């Protein structure tokens, strides 16, 4: 479990002073998903000149669905053709749309062909929201589609050299004949963290198992699992969705969740072909999977719904930033490397959060720091704060891989950044709606997206939205 909030953010300092001399910067934003689009808007609002580099053919990042999957279903082959999106066809949001939008651009229902009016819409509606956002704020004019950043590294006089080239979606290309080098004052990294799979490779026998294995990154539809016996590892939102999707066609689905209460082990209530298990004890070449609860099944496919690795193959920082056991660091408040602030920053690293409002706050902070309107602490102060945070995680027994897990303190974090920017914090209705949705999901996992009774919070959100929609 993460440590208490007071040991992480401690007592919030008073608002940072506004600086008198504003400066316009040339800023490279890497990625045109939700984080990159919101970053572009905030940077431009602050007066900066922005170029957004996007590997794909359209804006939207991980919300751009493709039926394609990678040639290596586990995602461990470095020579595989990388597919950016991890969406499965049936995915719907696990948050109500009112919670998801940025403050002054609500994620409201829109009329039109192919629009999804549901409160928990499908992934295509989220992509349309992001496309609407980009169009309404004119962000498309600064986005370079199908452009891969090969290197973003420190150059002379503290500037950043960004080398890019046309993308053919194959990150193993080695020719540099069509590369372009440009110089920027700052780099904002918004490349997401749902591309490089993490797998459960420490289970005895799993590397030699002869059955099929895949990561949820490459799951799209249930049809390939027809009449199969499946073992699915994971207990987060995607694991819950995918296990139920597969169960519509599979013979058996056995879900392995390390966080399960012993009383929950056994057949999943309301399902004839789904079982819950404790962790796997061992896997055998004859197809047997033995669970630590004593059960054994003969499986044909193992699906790893086990999360992702942070990956920045383009970034060169002379060792100032690294990824260690899935901790990106050292980073002050998950955003700024103390030695390179504010010239290098990261948006969207935290997980188990409401993402878009957090992106908005992080990028307002970054934009203000770059223009000299907002002052950051000294390098020494940021380093000390970051080291204290890491020490608190260690003292509480929190593994490094949970460094960016904000399940227990996202609102304190958001409000702390808002305080630095001198703007109002997260709306109370958004906090309460998130809590209600989380509780409803636990109580009604099968129907929470279509059954709710928080209408008063919806009305409160609508009243708030009217300030921006009229």
Q: Which domains does the chain have, with CATH numbers?
A: 14-196+308-430 (3.50.50.60), 199-304 (3.50.50.60)
109-135 per-position pLDDT tens digit: 998 889 999 999 999 999 999 999 999
How does residue 156 score in pLDDT terms, banded at 50, 70 and 90? confident
Q: At what angle do helices 428-443 and 455-469 cross, to 10 degrees?
A: 140
Q: Is 151 helix (H, G, I), strand (E, B) or coil?
A: strand
How does residue 15 score in pLDDT terms, banded at 50, 70 and 90? very low
Mean pLDDT of 142-170: 90
Is the separation of the CB atoms in 92 and 120 below 8 Å?
yes
> What is the reported pLDDT for 263?
82
259-270 per-position pLDDT tens digit: 888 888 999 999
Task: Specify the DSSP class assigned to residue 13.
Answer: P
Q: Does residue 208 surpass a pLDDT of 50?
A: yes
> What is the reported pLDDT for 17?
44
> What is the reported pLDDT for 203?
94
373-385 per-position pLDDT tens digit: 999 999 999 999 9
Instruction: Please state, in angstroms and as integers, the Cα–Cα distance from residue 215 to each residue in 87, 198, 292, 304, 451, following that order.
Output: 12, 8, 22, 5, 31
* Range name among 18-27, 43-52, 125-134 with the lowest pLDDT average: 18-27
Could you tell me which residues are beta bridge partners of residue 182? 162
Neighbours of 439 (CB within 10 A): 12
> What is the reported pLDDT for 14?
40
Q: Does residue 251 surpass a pLDDT of 70?
A: yes
> What is the reported pLDDT for 424?
96
Q: Does residue 4 surpass a pLDDT of 60?
A: no
> What is the reported pLDDT for 175?
53
Task: Name residue, tokens 């990294």.
Answer: 189
Mean pLDDT of 205-234: 96
Task: Name residue, tokens 């129907």.
Answer: 447
Distance CA 135, CA 111 (A): 17
> What is the reported pLDDT for 3?
44
Distance CA 302, CA 222 (A): 14
Is the separation of the CB atoms in 410 and 431 below 8 Å?
no
How does residue 309 score in pLDDT terms, banded at 50, 70 and 90? very high
Mean pLDDT of 336-350: 98
Could you tell me which residues are beta bridge partners of residue 27? 50, 186
Instruction: Please state, in angstroms and as integers, the Cα–Cα distance from residue 273 to each residue in 154, 229, 235, 252, 372, following that order.
Output: 55, 10, 17, 5, 59
Mean pLDDT of 202-220: 94
């Amino acid at each position: 479990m993460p440590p208490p909030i007071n040991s992480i953010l401690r007592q919030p300092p008073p608002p940072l002073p506004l600086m008198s001399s504003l400066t316009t910067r040339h800023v490279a934003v890497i990625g045109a998903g939700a984080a990159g689009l919101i970053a572009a808007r905030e940077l431009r609002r602050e007066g900066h000149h922005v170029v957004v580099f996007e590997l794909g053919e359209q804006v939207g990042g991980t919300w751009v669905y493709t039926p394609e999957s990678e040639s290596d279903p586990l995602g461990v082959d470095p020579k595989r053709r990388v597919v950016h999106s991890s969406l499965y066809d049936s995915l719907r949001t696990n948050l109500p749309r009112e919670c998801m939008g940025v403050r002054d651009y609500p994620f409201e229902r829109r009329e039109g062909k192919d629009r999804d009016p549901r409160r928990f819409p499908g992934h295509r509606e989220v992509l349309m929201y992001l496309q609407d956002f980009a169009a309404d704020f004119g962000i498309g004019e600064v986005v370079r589609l199908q452009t891969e950043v090969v290197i973003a590294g420190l150059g002379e006089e503290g500037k950043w050299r960004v080398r890019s080239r046309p993308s053919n979606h194959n990150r193993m290309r080695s020719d540099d004949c069509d590369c372009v080098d440009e110089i920027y004052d700052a780099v904002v990294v918004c490349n997401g963290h749902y591309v490089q799979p993490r797998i459960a490779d420490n289970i005895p026998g799993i590397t030699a198992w002869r059955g099929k294995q895949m990561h949820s990154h490459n799951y799209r539809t249930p049809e390939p699992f027809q009449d199969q016996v499946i073992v699915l590892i994971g207990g987060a939102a995607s694991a819950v969705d995918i296990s139920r999707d597969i169960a519509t066609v599979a013979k058996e689905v056995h879900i392995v969740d390390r966080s399960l209460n012993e009383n929950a082990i056994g057949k999943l209530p309301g399902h004839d072909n789904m079982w819950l298990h404790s962790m796997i004890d061992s896997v055998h070449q004859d197809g047997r999977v033995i669970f630590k609860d004593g059960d054994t099944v003969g499986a044909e496919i193992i699906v790893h719904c086990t999360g992702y690795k942070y990956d920045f193959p383009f970034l060169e920082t002379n060792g100032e930033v690294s990824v260690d056991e899935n901790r990106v660091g050292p980073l002050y408040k998950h955003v700024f490397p103390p030695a390179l602030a504010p010239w290098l920053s990261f948006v969207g690293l935290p997980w188990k959060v409401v993402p878009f409002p957090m992106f908005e706050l992080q990028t307002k902070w970054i934009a203000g720091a770059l223009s000299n309107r907002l002052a950051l602490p000294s390098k020494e102060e940021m380093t000390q704060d970051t080291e204290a945070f890491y020490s608190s995680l260690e003292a509480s027994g929190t593994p490094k891989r949970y460094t960016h897990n904000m399940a227990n303190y996202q609102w304190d974090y958001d409000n702390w950044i808002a305080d630095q920017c001198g703007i109002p914090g997260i709306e109370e209705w958004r906090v309460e709606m998130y809590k209600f949705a989380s509780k409803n999901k636990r109580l009604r996992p099968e129907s929470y997206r279509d059954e709710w009774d928080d209408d008063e919070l919806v009305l409160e959100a609508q009243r708030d939205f009217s300030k921006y929609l009229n």
